[in-house]
Chain A
């Protein structure tokens, strides 16, 4: 049995002003991947290829064992998809949408849908045109979750919604994570949201995946060292230094291959290690992107 829910192999897609290049991505069943990139980095294009909505020029895509885009109808029977630019029918009610989706998905869970209605404070008879953006996102999420999908694909679902609605959406996603068989791909440029729910992280920039790893490993291997360097002392070349900031006397080293031995190695040269700072996912993402763009080896 294939235990990968999503598998991209050498996927490329060329547009006039943008190219998605050689995407290799594997999402094991039961994992939660945060897909982080700036606006226009290629997140949505990658997700559209995953959903079969855009055909790749090169490479192969398999989703839940189905070749995409050829077998997209079968694959989408087990996928719940919510994207920032997805809208429901304005003139119809939430109840109509629920009935419509229920008629399509055999695993539709009506009691769960009703509990989500209560938790999201949505009224079934409300028309979509009367809902706020946050309520519309919650309604779309309800429709995606209550079909009990094996794969949940969320393309910037929290973009543009207020902090309270965002908290509710993320809270519900955290509850969904309890199901170990469900795989989630969560794309966002908001690293804080991704950090809360993901166990794997992929960074994408200018159409290329620039780094991919377990979240904890990311957080463990990235550090910022603040040093005080006496005159005439030169630091040895450490592996994985992606940025040297600060001044000559007070350098700040950013590394993606942190090892506690680096601290003693610095001290042995006569330098004082003032601090070894953990980095947030956002800081890691920014440092990663900047160093790649500047052409440094990471």
Chain B
């Protein structure tokens, strides 16, 4: 693999998407501030906005860097560069993941900070937030896989819908796992085997999704 070219392609996508990513950070900070306002309804609204921002950033990244590459016919420009399709696939997967991790890490750390600092210590929520944040990352990887393999707006939107539904269903399911649910209202952190298992399952799903994407891409015989 040509790592130097992969790096250049990642930097290119970062440059082209930088305003969207940088713009998501202050928007995320506002939602964190809303979450910090006392009152359950306001906090819930802030949480919804935070999740929406992360899903929107993932979807927009996939559309702008992969679907549009074909739709706007910049793919032939990129593929005329000294790269193979493996390099292109690696650059898209790694690049989008790294770029997405910028707002994701910032907002997840912000969320943890809200839970960890008084007043109103909510350390009991940390396992749930970690699992749900990783679920957002998993959904985003699903969107990236769909966008890269299909290069179609329709399939990418379908993946966004599936990812969003899965997030809601998964959130409900995790919230009703007894060992996780019972510690959620507490002010002390209770990390359970169930939480570890779910996190492991999520990271395994991410690895599987990205490996499958590489595999499918490597079998393609027409790239334009």
Q: Does A91 reach chain B (CB closer than 8 Å)?
A: yes
Interface residues of A in 107-139 (CB under 8 A from B): none
In the assembly, what is the distance between CA of A153 and CA of B54, in Å? Answer: 42
Known: A54-B223, A73-B5. A104 touches B81 (CB 8 A): yes
Known: A72-B84, A76-B80. A88 touches B8 (CB 8 A): no
> From A100, which residue of chain B is reached at the shortest CB distance?
B12
Contact A86 B80 (CB under 8 A): yes
> From A92, which residue of chain B is reached at the shortest CB distance?
B16
| Residue ranges of A at the interface with B (Cβ–Cβ < 8 Å) | 48, 51-55, 69, 72-77, 79, 81, 83, 85-92, 96, 100, 103-104, 140
Q: Which 6 A-B pairs have the closest CB atoms?
A: A81-B80, A87-B73, A55-B221, A77-B82, A76-B82, A86-B76
> From A87, which residue of chain B is reached at the shortest CB distance?
B73
10 A–B contacts, CB within 8 A, in A order: A53-B224, A69-B84, A73-B83, A73-B84, A79-B80, A83-B76, A85-B76, A87-B72, A89-B77, A104-B5
Known: A87-B73, A104-B5. A76 touches B83 (CB 8 A): yes
Contact A53 B79 (CB under 8 A): yes
Q: Does B222 reach chain A (CB closer than 8 Å)?
A: yes
In the assembly, what is the distance between CA of A51 and CA of B16, in Å? Answer: 26
Contact B87 A85 (CB under 8 A): no
Contact B77 A87 (CB under 8 A): yes
**Shortest distance between the CB of B21 and any CB in chain A (Å):** 14
| Chain A neighbourhood of B168, CB < 8 A | none
A48, A52, A54, A73: most-surrounded residue (chain B CB, <10 A): A73
| Chain A neighbourhood of B77, CB < 8 A | 86-89, 140
**Residue among B73, B83, B224 making CB contact with A48, cutoff 8 Å:** B224
**Shortest distance between the CB of B189 and any CB in chain A (Å):** 44
Q: Does B74 reach chain A (CB closer than 8 Å)?
A: yes
Contact B222 A73 (CB under 8 A): no
In the assembly, what is the distance between CA of A131 and CA of B11, in Å? Answer: 24
Q: Does B2 reach chain A (CB closer than 8 Å)?
A: yes
**Shortest distance between the CB of A66 and any CB in chain B (Å):** 11
In the assembly, what is the distance between CA of A54 and CA of B75, in Å? Answer: 13
Contact B82 A55 (CB under 8 A): no
> From A128, which residue of chain B is reached at the shortest CB distance?
B74
In the assembly, what is the distance between CA of A294 and CA of B74, in Å? Answer: 40
| Chain B neighbourhood of A100, CB < 8 A | 8, 12
| Chain B neighbourhood of A92, CB < 8 A | 15-16
Q: 1/0 per position for B125-140, CB-CB distance to A under 8 A?
A: 0000000000000000
| Chain A neighbourhood of B76, CB < 8 A | 53, 81, 83, 85-87
| Chain B neighbourhood of A87, CB < 8 A | 72-74, 76-77
**Shortest distance between the CB of A135 and any CB in chain B (Å):** 15
> From B12, which residue of chain A is reached at the shortest CB distance?
A100
In the assembly, what is the distance between CA of A253 and CA of B181, in Å? Answer: 92
Contact B224 A104 (CB under 8 A): no
In the assembly, what is the distance between CA of A104 and CA of B5, in Å? Answer: 8
Known: A87-B72, A100-B12, A104-B8. A54 touches B80 (CB 8 A): no
Contact A88 B74 (CB under 8 A): yes
B2, B76, B79, B222: most-surrounded residue (chain A CB, <10 A): B76
> From A70, which residue of chain B is reached at the shortest CB distance?
B84
**Shortest distance between the CB of A186 and any CB in chain B (Å):** 16
> From B86, which residue of chain A is reached at the shortest CB distance?
A73
| Chain B neighbourhood of A76, CB < 8 A | 80-83
> From A77, which residue of chain B is reached at the shortest CB distance?
B82
**Shortest distance between the CB of B1 and any CB in chain A (Å):** 9
B12, B74, B224: most-surrounded residue (chain A CB, <10 A): B224
In the assembly, what is the distance between CA of A72 and CA of B79, in Å? Answer: 10
Interface residues of B in 184-211 (CB under 8 A from A): none
| Chain B neighbourhood of A79, CB < 8 A | 80
Known: A100-B12, A104-B8, A104-B82. A73 touches B2 (CB 8 A): yes
> From A86, which residue of chain B is reached at the shortest CB distance?
B76
| Chain B neighbourhood of A74, CB < 8 A | 82
**Shortest distance between the CB of A249 and any CB in chain B (Å):** 53
